[in-house]
Amino acid sequence: MGRDRTLRLQFGNRIEVVCVVGTRLCTDVYGAAPADAVTFAVKHSDDVEVEIISDGQSEHAPANGGKQWPLDPKTTLSIQMTRPSTEANDNKVTVGYYGENGGHPIDQAGVFLTGIEISLDVDADRDGVVEKNHPKKAVWTWGPDGQGAVLLVNCDKENPYTGKEDCQDDKVFSKDDLEDMSRMILRTKGPDRLPPGYEMVLYIPLSDCDKVGVFYLQNPFFGQRYIHVLGPRKLFHVVKYTGGSAEMEFFVEGLRFPDAGFDGLVTINVSLLEPVAEGIPQTPIFTDTVVFRIAPWIMTPNTLAPVNVFVCSVKDNYLFLKEIKNLVSKANCKMSVCSRYMNRGDRWMQGPDFGYVSREPLFEEVTSLDSFGNLEVSPPVTANGKEYPLGRILIGSSFPLSAGRRMTKVVRDFLYAQKVQSPIELYSDWLTVGHVDEFVTFVPIPGKKQFRMLMASPSACYKLFREKQKEGHGEAVMFKGYTGTDTKRVTVNKVLSNEVMVQENQYVQRCIDWNRDILKKELGLAEKDIIDLPALFKMDKQGKAMAYFPNMVNMIVLSRDLGIPKPFGPIIEAECCLEQHVCSLLEPLGLTCTFIDDVSSYHKQLGEVHCGTNVHRKPSAFKWWNVTP
C-alpha cells in the first residue's frame, strides 16, 4: 500500500527522493512558480510517468518536454516510477517555467528519483506457490472462490528433550519444524544501496504478537540459520536492504488457535521509512501487508481411514493390548503403545508426540464433562439446507432447564470459535461420567460415501431379551467369563423381572431419545440412518446412569473393522445373543465385528474401548478454507 506523497518543488536545491514502483508523488506546480511565469513544461526520464491533472482531467506529459501547459492553482503533477532503478538517483523530472514569450524557461526545478520494488508475498491462492504481489494477499475470504494465506499453529514438539511446544520457543530445531510453518517472501529490486536514512521494517500489530511468530532464513546457501525476528516481545525487525534483485525468505508459525475474542486473522507488514531531518523520526512512505488465517482445530470423524492407533500400557491391560494389536493388524494400520513411564499410570492419556491445545477456566469448576470422551464429531452432513463438509462437533451438556454439569465455557467458546465444525450440544449430564460417546457413535458403510449413526438403546435390549424369553431362553445366563469382579447369577428372566431396572432404563431411553431428536434435526438424518445397539444402564447413588454391561456403542472404528466392548450377554446355543444381534445389524453393511474384553482394565473404571484408545486418521480431502461458515 503506497500512499500518495506530496512533494514541494524548490529552485536551486537538489531534491532526492526514493519512490516505490507503482506509488505516486504529487506536487503543486503553481505554488513553486516564479512571479512572472504563465506556463510550464515537464521533462522526465523514460522510466518515469508524469500526469498533468487539472479540474479532474489528466494528461500524460511527453518525456521530451515539448508541450507547455498554462499555470493554474488547480493544476498538480502526479509522478510515478514504472520500473526500479539500477543506480541511486538515475531518474529525473524537471519542471521548466515560461513567461509570456514562451522562449527559454525563466527557471527550473528538478527532482532526482530512485525507484525500488517492494513486495511482501504469501501463498494467497493456496496452491503451494508464493506468487509475487498477489492482488488478494491482504484480504481473506472463505469458500471455494475465496483467497488468503493459511497458517498452522505449531503446537507439537519436534525436540523430544524440551518440555515446551514448538510455538512456545524461539528456535527452529529441524526441517520437520519448518514443515509446520508457512513461507513468506520479501522481494525487493533496485540499486545496490538506498540513499542514507532509508530503512525497511517488518512488523506486526501489538494485538497479534502472541498469535504469530516469524523466523528469517539467514545464509540460505551456506550454513543456514533461522533467526526469530517477530513474535512475543518482538514487534518489529529492521530488514537489511541487499540491493539488486533479492528475495528474503521467512517462515511464519501460528501461536494460538482461533478463540473467543480472536477470529484467527493475523497481519504482517513491511514499511519503507524515509528520513525527514536529523533528530526527527522517520516516516513510512510505503507499506505492504499480508493476511493469514490461522487454521482451526479440526476433529476427524470415524468415517476417515485410520493411520495409527494409540493406547497406553498400564499394569492391568496386557490382554487388552493384545486384542487391540490383533484388531489393528486386521485393519492394516499402525499401533503405538504409550509406555508406563510416558503415561505415568494414566490409562486415558492418548498419544505422545502430537500437537495439543489446553484451556484452563479461571472460575468454573472442571467436571468429567471436560474430558474428551465428551467430544465427538459427525461425518460430513447436510442439514436444514446447509452443508457441513467436515462434519459437526458433538459435546455433552446439561438439560436446558437444569443447573447440572456443563463443559466449561472456555472450552465451549474455543470449539465454537473454530467455525468449520459448528458444534451441537447434547444432553449427557444424566450419565455418571457424562460423555456423548456413551450413547452415540458413527460407522462408515464400506465402498460408499455413507454412514450410520449407532445409538445405545435400552428399548432394543429389552425387546431382544423378551424375544429370547418367548423362545424359551429365559434362564440363559449373562456374564459368563466376566473377569475381575464377582457377579451373581444373572439370567434373562431376572433382568426382565427387575422393575427398578426397567424404570431406570425407561428414564435413560427418554434421555437418549431427546438426543436422538436433536441429532436427526441437526445432522439431517432419518430413522433409516440410525441403528440401535442393545444397552442397559443402572443408577448410581446420585441418580446418574452407568453401563450395566460393557457398552457396545463405545467402540473403536477402523474403517470396516470395529473393536466392540465384549458385552458378556446371555449365552444361547454357545453364543452371546448380544454379540450375535449386533453382528446381524452391522455385518450386512460390510463391517466386521471384533468383541474385546475390557472389563477389568476399562469397564470397571467407567470407560470402554473407545475411551482407552485414540485413532490418528487420514485428514479429509476437503480443504477447510472452502467451508462457508
Give the CATH number for residue 264: 2.60.40.1700
Residue 164: per-residue pLDDT: 63
Confidence of residue 158 (pLDDT cuts 50, 70, 90): low
Number of compact structural domains in the chain: 3
Give the CATH number for residue 474: 3.75.10.10
- State the average pLDDT over residues 190-212: 94
Look up cell 426397567; give the residue.
502
| 462 and 385 within one domain | yes
**Nearest residue to 294 (alpha-carbon basis) of 163, 419, 125:** 419
Please provide the DSSP assignment of 521-574 as one string: HHHT--GGGEEEEE--EEE-TTS-EEESS--TTS-EEETTEEEEE-----EETT
| 514 and 611 within one domain | yes
More confident call, 430 vs 31: 430
Looking only at the bridges linking them, the beta strands covering 199-203 and 236-239 are antiparallel
| 324 and 274 within one domain | no
Residue 221: per-residue pLDDT: 65
**Nearest residue to 263 (alpha-carbon basis) of 239, 235, 295:** 295
- State the average pLDDT over residues 372-401: 91
**If DSSP states are collapsed to H, E and C, what string results for 380-401?**
CEEECCEEECCCCEEEEECCCC
Strand partners, 427: 397
Residue 374 lies inside a defined structural domain of this protein: yes
Consecutive H or E run containing 325? helix 318-331
**Active site (annotated) includes residue 611:** yes
What grid cell was written down for 441?
457413535
Identify the domain boundary among 93, 116, 139.
116
Which of 61-70, 384-393, 411-420 is least confident? 61-70
Catalytic-role residue among 19, 167, 593, 611:
611
pLDDT, the chain, mean = 90
| 96 and 35 within one domain | yes
CA distances from 108 to 34, 37, 63, 105 (A): 10, 11, 16, 7
Residue 300 lies inside a defined structural domain of this protein: no
Residue 107 lies inside a defined structural domain of this protein: yes
Residue 624 lies inside a defined structural domain of this protein: no
**Tens-place pLDDT, residues 298-310:** 999 999 999 999 9
This prediction's pTM = 0.88
Residue 594 lies inside a defined structural domain of this protein: yes
**Percent of the chain scored above 70 by pLDDT?**
92
What is the three-class DSSP state of 341?
helix
Q: How many C-beta atoms surround the C-beta of residue 264 within 10 A?
A: 22
Residues 6+ apart with CB under 8 A from 529: 451, 452, 453
Residue 311 lies inside a defined structural domain of this protein: yes
Residue 526 lies inside a defined structural domain of this protein: yes
Identify the domain boundary among 82, 116, 150.
116
Residues 6+ apart with CB under 8 A from 66: 41
What grid cell was written down for 581?
444381534
| 536 and 446 within one domain | yes
| 185 and 87 within one domain | no
Q: Which domain holds residue 100?
A: 5-116
Give the CATH number for residue 28: 2.60.40.1860
Confidence of residue 123 (pLDDT cuts 50, 70, 90): very high
Confidence of residue 3 (pLDDT cuts 50, 70, 90): low
| 310 and 331 within one domain | yes
Residue 581: per-residue pLDDT: 98
Residue 623 lies inside a defined structural domain of this protein: no
| 192 and 339 within one domain | no
| 141 and 102 within one domain | no
| 318 and 268 within one domain | no
| 354 and 254 within one domain | no
Identify the domain boundary among 294, 320, 342.
294
| 287 and 164 within one domain | yes
